[in-house]
Amino acid sequence: MSDFRTELVAWLEENAPKSLHGTASSPFQGHWGGKSEFPSEDHRLWFERCLARGWTAPNWPKTYGGAELSLEDARVWQEELFKRHLPLPLVGFGLTMIGPILLAAGSEELKAAHLPGIVSGEVRWCQGYSEPGAGSDLASLRTKAVRDGDEFVVNGQKIWTSHADLSDWIFCLVRTNDEGVKQVGITFLLIPMNTPGITIRPIPLISGASPFCEVFFEDVRAPVANVVGQVDQGWKVAKALLAHERTMVGESIAAGGARAPILFTYTLRDHAIDVIGTDENGLRDAAVRDELVRSEMEMAAMKLTLERTKDRIRAGDQPGPESSIFKVVGTELNMRRWELALKIADQDALGWEGDAYSDRNIAMTRQWLRSRGNSIEGGTSEIQRNIIARRVLGLPK
Q: Which residues bind another protein (CB under 8 A)?
A: 269, 272, 282-283, 289-290, 292-294, 296-298, 300-302, 304-305, 307-308, 311-312, 315, 322, 325, 328-329, 382, 385-386, 388-389, 392-397
Interacting partner of 35 out of ligand FAD, another protein, none (Cβ under 5 to 8 A depending on kind): none
Nearest to 49 by CA among 11, 85, 18: 11
Which letter does DSSP use for residue 227 in this model?
E
Interacting partner of 315 out of ligand FAD, another protein, none (Cβ under 5 to 8 A depending on kind): another protein
Give whichever of 195 and 386 is closer to ligand FAD, judged by the CB atom: 386
Give whichever of 61 and 321 is closer to ligand FAD, judged by the CB atom: 321
Q: Closest approach of Cβ 384 to ligand FAD, in Å? A: 9
Give whichever of 27 and 128 is closer to ligand FAD, judged by the CB atom: 128
Q: Closest approach of Cβ 77 to another protein, in Å? A: 19
Residue among 131, 245, 251, 291 flagged as catalytic = 245
* Cβ neighbours, 10 Å, residue 114: 23
Q: Is 214 a catalytic residue?
A: no
Residue 131's alpha-carbon distances to 159, 198, 203, 237, 296, in angstroms, are 5, 15, 14, 18, 37
* Torsion-angle region of 180 (φ positive above 0: left; ψ -120 to 50: alpha; else: beta): left
Return the residue nearest ligand FAD (CB atom): 135
Q: Closest approach of Cβ 78 to another protein, in Å? A: 17
Residues in the chain: 397
Interacting partner of 162 out of ligand FAD, another protein, none (Cβ under 5 to 8 A depending on kind): ligand FAD
Residue 146 and residue 152 in contact, taking contact as beta carbons nearer than 8 Å: yes
Give whichever of 76 and 159 is closer to ligand FAD, judged by the CB atom: 159
Interacting partner of 300 out of another protein, ligand FAD, none (Cβ under 5 to 8 A depending on kind): another protein
> Positive or negative CA dihedral for 94, 76, 292, 259?
negative
Residue 271's alpha-carbon distances to 15, 266, 292, 345, in angstroms, are 33, 7, 11, 8
Q: Closest approach of Cβ 1 to another protein, in Å? A: 15
DSSP 304-342: HHHHHHHHHHHTTPPP-GGGHHHHHHHHHHHHHHHHHHH
Binding positions for ligand FAD, rule: CB under 6 A = 126-130, 135-136, 160-162, 212, 373, 376-380, 382-383, 386
CB proximity list for 204: less than 8 A, separation 6 or greater: 210
Residue 176 and residue 233 in contact, taking contact as beta carbons nearer than 8 Å: no
Is residue 189 within a helix (H) or strand (E), and if so which, with residue range? strand 186-192
Q: Closest approach of Cβ 307 to another protein, in Å? A: 5
Q: Closest approach of Cβ 148 to ligand FAD, in Å? A: 25
Residue 200 and residue 215 in contact, taking contact as beta carbons nearer than 8 Å: yes
Give whichever of 126 and 283 is closer to ligand FAD, judged by the CB atom: 126
**How open is the CA angle 163-84-118, to the nearest 5 degrees?**
35
Give whichever of 162 and 295 is closer to ligand FAD, judged by the CB atom: 162
Interacting partner of 52 out of ligand FAD, another protein, none (Cβ under 5 to 8 A depending on kind): none
Residues with catalytic annotation? 245
